[in-house]
């Protein structure tokens, strides 16, 4: 696999966004004007911008490996929080903080954790697949069509799966729809707002790395982790 100068930085930032988003999602549900969403939604759309950059510059096969790395990091985060919650607390800490506070912020139910991992996995791969295919179809033109088109699909898959799997049956249909719609509109809006920055980052990385991958003959199987690229 070819060595890139800046791929490790993109990978690190991508994983950091995922972990921080997971933590913020557990901490608070917020209202911002007409929108109702979990705290992680403020940052999580940035992961799709990183996903667009990865697929556009380095190709689907590299993006696939990064997606799996993010999946593993998110699963490790959730597992660690769960194991720590099972361990006996220190008495002084129990008086100052207590397990009730710990569980209220970090003690996500298994249902929410599983929903989050499934939604992330499906949405991220849908985003990378659509962008890679659109790049070939458009012959590398109209980057905004690829970034917004892939986000419309990927974020819809992610949001619909997470909200449905995590909260169906626990919220009224009206609240469930409001959360789903608010999350989706906000996430896509962030992508659109950051499009000029995405253009700058993509252009700079292509020049710096000396690469511009077109996935003409790429194996799009999400479980094939071999980094084979078509340029």
- At 136-161, the pLDDT tens digits run 999 999 999 999 999 999 999 999 99
Which pair of structure tokens corresponds to residue 3? 């060595």
Instruction: Tell me what the mean pLDDT of segment 56-84 comes to.
Output: 92
Q: Is it the case that residue 66 has pLDDT exceeding 90?
A: yes
Q: pTM value?
A: 0.88
Higher pLDDT among residues 150 and 2, named by residue: 150
β-pair type (29-32, 35-38): antiparallel
Which pair of structure tokens corresponds to residue 110? 């298994």
pLDDT-based confidence at 231, cuts 50/70/90?
Answer: very low
| Least confident window among 27-36, 154-163, 167-176 | 27-36
**Residue 204 confidence (pLDDT):** 95
User: Residue 206 and residue 94: Cα distance in Å, rounded?
Assistant: 52
Query: Which residues does residue 29 pair with via DSSP β-bridges, in sequence order?
Result: 38
Instruction: Tell me what the mean pLDDT of segment 115-121 comes to.
Output: 91
Q: Is it the case that residue 29 has pLDDT exceeding 90?
A: no
Q: Is it the case that residue 230 has pLDDT exceeding 80?
A: no
Q: Is it the case that residue 5 has pLDDT exceeding 80?
A: yes
Instruction: Tell me what the mean pLDDT of segment 186-203 comes to.
Output: 90
**Residue 229 confidence (pLDDT):** 47
HSE-up of residue 27 (Cα within 13 Å, Cβ side): 10
User: Residue 60 and residue 132: Cα distance in Å, rounded?
Assistant: 6
pLDDT-based confidence at 75, cuts 50/70/90?
Answer: very high
Task: Count Cβ atoms below 10 Å from residue 95 Cβ, excluding itself.
Answer: 9
Q: Domains of the chain, with CATH numbers?
A: 7-209 (1.10.1760)
pLDDT tens profile 9-26: 999 999 998 888 877 776
User: Residue 1 and residue 214: Cα distance in Å, rounded?
Assistant: 16
Higher pLDDT among residues 230 and 143, named by residue: 143
Which pair of structure tokens corresponds to residue 157? 């898959």
What is the chain's mean pLDDT, rounded?
87
């Amino acid at each position: 696999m070819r060595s890139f100068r800046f791929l490790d930085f993109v990978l690190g930032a991508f994983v950091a966004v995922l972990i921080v988003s997971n933590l913020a999602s557990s901490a608070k549900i917020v209202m911002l004007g007409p929108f109702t969403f979990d705290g992680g939604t403020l940052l999580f759309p940035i992961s799709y911008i990183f996903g667009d950059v990865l697929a556009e510059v380095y190709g689907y096969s590299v993006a696939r490996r990064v997606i799996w790395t993010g999946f593993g990091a998110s699963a490790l985060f959730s597992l660690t929080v769960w194991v720590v919650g099972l361990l006996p607390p220190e008495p002084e800490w129990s008086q100052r903080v207590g397990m009730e506070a710990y569980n209220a912020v970090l003690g996500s139910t298994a249902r929410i954790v599983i929903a989050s991992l499934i939604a992330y996995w499906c949405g991220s791969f849908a985003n990378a697949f659509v962008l890679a295919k659109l790049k070939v179809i458009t012959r590398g033109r109209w980057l905004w069509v690829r970034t917004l088109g892939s986000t419309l699909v990927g974020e819809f898959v992610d949001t619909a799966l997470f909200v449905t799997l995590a909260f169906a049956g626990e919220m009224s249909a009206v609240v469930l729809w409001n959360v789903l719609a608010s999350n989706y509109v906000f996430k896509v809006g962030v992508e659109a707002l950051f499009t000029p920055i995405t253009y700058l980052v993509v252009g700079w990385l292509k020049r710096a790395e000396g690469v511009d991958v077109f996935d003409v003959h790429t194996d799009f199987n999400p479980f094939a982790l071999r980094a084979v690229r078509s340029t």
